[in-house]
Structure 1
Amino acid sequence: MKYELLIITGEDSGDLYGGNLAREIKKLSPDINISGVGGRQMKSAGVDIFCNVSDISVVGFWEVIEKLGLIRRLYKQVVEKLDSGDVKGVVLIDYPGFNLKVAKAAKERGIPVFYYISPQVWAWRKERVKTIKRYVDKMMVILPFEEEFYQKEGVEVKFVGHPLLEAIDPSLNKEEICRELGIDSKQLILGILPGSRKKEISYILPEILKASILIKEKYPSVQFLLPLSQSIEEDYLKNFITSDYSYIKVVKGKNYDVMKASDLLITKSGTSTLEAAIIGTPMIIVYKSSFLSYYLAKVLVNVTYAGLPNLLAGKEVAPELLQHKMIAKNITEKAIYYLEKKGRLEQMREELKNIKCSLGEQGVSKRTAETIVNFIKTGQKLK
C-alpha cells in the first residue's frame, strides 16, 4: 500500500521542527513518502518540497496582502494533492491562516489531520478553537499550558514537550566557540539577534546599532556578535552595518553559538527568546513593526507578555522593549542595568533554568512520529 504524508509549515522555525519530525518518521517507516511546504531542513530530511517556506513567510497583518495570490495558488495545489487519493495523513505546523483551511479540506476528504505546534489561539483569535475541534484529529502541543487550554475546550490534545530541546546541543562550550569565532571569552560579549526577515531587521536593527555605540562608550572592550540568518544576504546587512559599526562581528548562521558565547543578548521576540532560555543566556527582548501591524496586534492579541520565556514564567523574567519603547536610549539603559552587576545576570540565568525544565524531556520528534505512523498504518486510536 502506498503511504504519502503531507507536512506543511510557513515559518523557518516550523521548517526546523518539520525536518526533525520527518527524519523520525523515515526511521520508523521508510516506505512513507513525505511531501510538503518547507525549507532546507525538511528537504535535507527527505521531504519533497513543492513550495519553499521563504516564498510564503510573512510578518504582520498588512504584509499578508502582498503574497495573497501566491498563497491562494498554493492552497489549490495542496487540495489537488489531497484529491489524488494517495495522502494518508496531514501534519500541520503552526501557520494557522493557511493550515486551518487545509485541515478543513483534508477532514472533508476523510484524511487524518495532526496539528504539531499549535497556533497561538490562547493569545488571539480564540474562535479558531472551534475550527480546530471540528477538523483536527490530534493536537500535539509544545508549551505546557496549551494542554490544559485545549482540554478545557474539549479538543484531543497531548503535550509532547518542546522540539527545541533536541535541536539545541547541550554540550555547547563557550571557550571553544569563542576560539572558533576569533573573540576573547574573557571580555564582555553581547549578541544581537534582530530577526530572520528583511522587514523585521529594517525596523529593529537600526536602534540596536545606535544602542551599541552607547554601550561601547560605557564598556570600551565589549565585543558584539550578530548571527546572520541563512535567509538574509550579507549585502542586505551592509545597508545598516556601515563603517561606523565595524566593531560588530557578523557571522553567517551560528545562532546557538552566539547565544552560548554571549553574556547578554538583545533579541527580537519570537522563537529566539525560547532558544536563549534553553541555552541559559540572559536577554533583553525587543520588537518593532509597522504602525498598522502593531496597532492591530495591540487590539487583537490578548497576552500579558510578548516574550515566550515571560509567558511561561507568568512574570517578566527578561525585560521587554516594544514598539515606541524600543529606542537606543532604553536598550542601553537596560543593558547597563544588567551588566553593571553580575548578580542580576545570574538571577536571570536561574529563572531561565526553571523555564527550561517546564518544557518537558528530549525525544519530542520521536514521540510525535510514533503517534502519526501508528495511526496512519494501523488506524490505532489516538492517545
Structure 2
Amino acid sequence: MSPPTILILAGDPSGDVHAAAVVRALRERLPDVRLIGLGGPRLAAEGVELLADLDRLAVMGIVEIIPRLVFFRWLERRLRSLLDGVVVDLVLAVDYPGLNLRMARHARRRGVPVLYYIAPKVWAWRAGRTRRLARDADRIAVIFPFEAEPLRAAGADARFVGNPLLEAREPVLGRAALVGALGLDPGRPLLALLPGSRRHEVARHLDLFVEAARRIVRARPDLQPVLARAGSVPAAALARAGLPVTTETRALLHHAAGAIVKSGTGTLEAALEGVPFVVAYRVHPLTAAIGRRLIRVPYVALPNLIAGKVVVPELLQEAATPQRLAATLLPLLDPASAERARMLSELSGVRGLLGTPGASARVAEMAVELLRS
C-alpha cells in the first residue's frame, strides 16, 4: 500500500508556522507521508512540496485583494486540477477562508476528507460560512474555546484543541542580548511596535505607529521604541522609520514596558507575554465600510473576544490616530497605575482560557484518524 498524500493549504505567515508544527507531529506518526500544498518557508523547511509563493497569498481585506485576483484564479484552477488528477487522501486546510472554503467544497465533491485547522472566523462574519464549513469539513479543529459550539450547532464535528501559541514556547532571548544586539541603552525601558506580518499591513500602520511612538517618547523620554519585523516582511519595508528593528518579536514583547500592536495574532502573543498594550487597525476605507455591515462581534482584538469584554483598548480605522494611541498607552506605562494592574490581571485570565499545550499533536492525531477511517 502506497503512503498517504496530504494536501496542505496554508495561505499566510501564521498558517505557515502552525501548519509546520502539525507536519512535524504528523511525520512522527506517519514517517512516509507525502505532503504537498501551499505555504511558506516553514512548510518548505519541513519538506512539503510547495505549489505557490506564500508572499503572493498573504492579503487581508476586500479591496486589497483586487490586484491579485488573476493570480488567485490561476491558483484555484491549479488546485482543482490537482484534486481531480492526483490521488489526495486528505486535505488539511489551515485558516485562510476565502480560498480554503472553496477548496474544501471541491474536495468534498471528489470524496476527499477535509480537516480544517484554525477555523474561519465564522462568529465574526456571517452564518452562511458556518453552514458551509459544517457541510464541507469532516472535522474542524478550533483554537479558541468559544468557537466549537456555534459550529456544532450547525452540524459540524468541531473540537477545541487548545491554542498553538501555547506549545513549544522556547525561552525568550534575554534582555541583555536583545538590547545589546539593537545597540540600545540597557538601563532604559523598551516600547514595542508591531505593525503587522504582511507588507500591506506594514504600509498602512508603520507611519501611524512611529508617530504615536514619537508622541509617547516626548512624554516619556526614557522609552526606547523598537519595531518588530515578521519574517515575511522585508527589512526595506521598515527602513524609512529610522528605528531599531528586531525579528525577535516574542523577546521584544516579553521585555517591553508596553506595546502598540496591529490587530491579529500579535495581540494574543502580547497577552501571553504579559505586556500592557493597545490595539490598532486600519484597512482601506471601502473595506472598512463593507466590514461594518458584515462583522457581527463587538471586538476585534483576540484577548477581548476570548474574555468576552474589553481587556485591551481597541482603536480602529478613524479612531486610530497617533494622538489617541499615545494618550491611551501612556497611563498603561506607569508601573503604579491602576489601569496597568487591571490589564495585567485580566491578561493572566485570558491565558488561562486558552487550554493546554499540544494543539499540533491533537490535530495530527485527527489527521491520522481521518486517513484510517
**TM tier, shorter chain?**
over 0.9
SS of corresponding position for 1:87:
coil
The one-character-per-residue Cα deviations of 1:269-324 (angstroms, maximum 9, x if unpaired) are 00100111112211110011111011111111111111000111111111111111
Q: Deviations over 1:25-49 (max 9, x none)?
A: 0111111101110001111112111
Q: 1: CA distance between counterparts of 2:192 and 2:63?
A: 30
Answer with 364-373 or 331-340: which moved more: 331-340
Give the TM-score, by structure 2 length: 0.95
SS in 2 for 1:311: helix
Residues 270-279 or 206-215, more deviating? 206-215
Aligned to 1:10: 11
Q: Note if 1:350 corresponds to 2:351.
A: no
Listed as ranges, the matches of 1:1-383 within 5 Å are: 1-2=1-2, 3-166=4-167, 168-169=169-170, 173-238=174-239, 240-241=240-241, 246=242, 248-251=243-246, 253-343=247-337, 344-376=339-371, 378-379=372-373
Q: Structure 1: which amino acid aligns with 2:24? A: R
TM-score, normalised on structure 1? Answer: 0.92
Measure, in 2, the Cα distance between the counterparts of 1:65 and 1:211. 30
Q: Take 1:234 and 1:181, find their aligned partners in 2: how far apart are those partners?
A: 14
Tell me if structure 2 keeps the 8 A contact 1:185–1:261: no
Contact 1:310-1:317 at 8 Å conserved across structures: yes
Deviation larger for 167-176 or 280-289: 167-176
Q: Which amino acid aligns with 1:215?
A: I
Cα contact 2:95–2:118 (8 A) shared by 1: yes
- Conserved in 1, the CA contact under 8 Å of 2:165 and 2:269? yes
Query: 1:85 Cα shift?
Result: 4.2
| Partners of 2:104 and 2:136 within 8 A in 1 | yes
Q: Is the 8 A contact 1:23 1:46 kept in 2?
A: no
- 5+ residue gaps, structure 2, are none
Mapped contact 1:4–1:86 kept (Cα < 8 A)? yes
Please say which of residues 287-296 and 213-222 is displaced more in the overlay: 213-222
Give the whole-Å Cα distance in 2 for the aligned partners of 1:372 and 1:147: 18
What residue identity is the alignment partner of 1:104?
R
Q: Distance in 1 between matches of 2:357 and 2:299?
A: 26
Distance in 2 of aligned mates of 1:295 and 1:267: 22
Aligned residue pairs total: 371
Residue 42 of structure 1 aligns to which amino acid in structure 2? L
Q: Are 1:163 and 1:362, in contact at CA under 8 Å, matched by a contact in 2?
A: yes
Q: CA deviation at 1:182?
A: 4.0
Q: Single out whichever of 167-176 and 43-52 deviates more from structure 2.
A: 167-176
Deviation at 1:57, TM superposition (A): 1.6
Are the counterparts in 1 of residues 134 and 151 from structure 2 also a CA contact under 8 Å?
no
The answer to whether the 8 Å contact 2:304/2:310 transfers is yes
Give CA deviations for 1:224-278 in whole Å, capped at 9, x if unaligned: 111222222222323x41xxxx4x3112x21111111211110100010011111
When structure 1 is superposed on structure 2, of 203-212 and 153-162 the one drifting more is: 203-212
Task: Return the alpha-carbon distance in structure 2 between the equivalents of residues 69 and 299 of structure 1.
Answer: 27
Structure 2: how far apart are the matches of 1:281 and 1:167?
20
Distance 2:93 2:46 in 1: 17
Distance (Å, rounded) in 2 between the aligned partners of 1:97 and 1:235: 29
Task: Measure the CA separation in 1 of the matches of 2:176 and 2:107.
Answer: 50
Question: 2-side partners of 1:337 and 1:181: how far apart?
Answer: 26
Q: State the AA in 1 paired with 2:211.
A: K
For residue 128 of structure 1, what is the amino acid of its counterpart? Answer: R
Q: Is the 8 A contact 2:195 2:228 kept in 1?
A: no
1:23 offset after TM fit, Å?
Answer: 0.9
What is the DSSP-based 3-state SS (H/G/I as helix, E as strand, rest coil) of the residue aligned with 2:89? strand
Classify the secondary structure of the residue corresponding to 1:348.
Answer: helix
Task: Please give the alpha-carbon distance, in whole angstroms, between the structure 2 residues aligned to 1:39 and 1:342.
Answer: 43
Distance 1:178 1:342, change over 3 A: farther
Q: Name the amino acid aligned to 2:354.
A: L
Q: Tell me if the contact between 2:39 and 2:50 (Cα under 8 Å) persists in the aligned partners.
A: yes
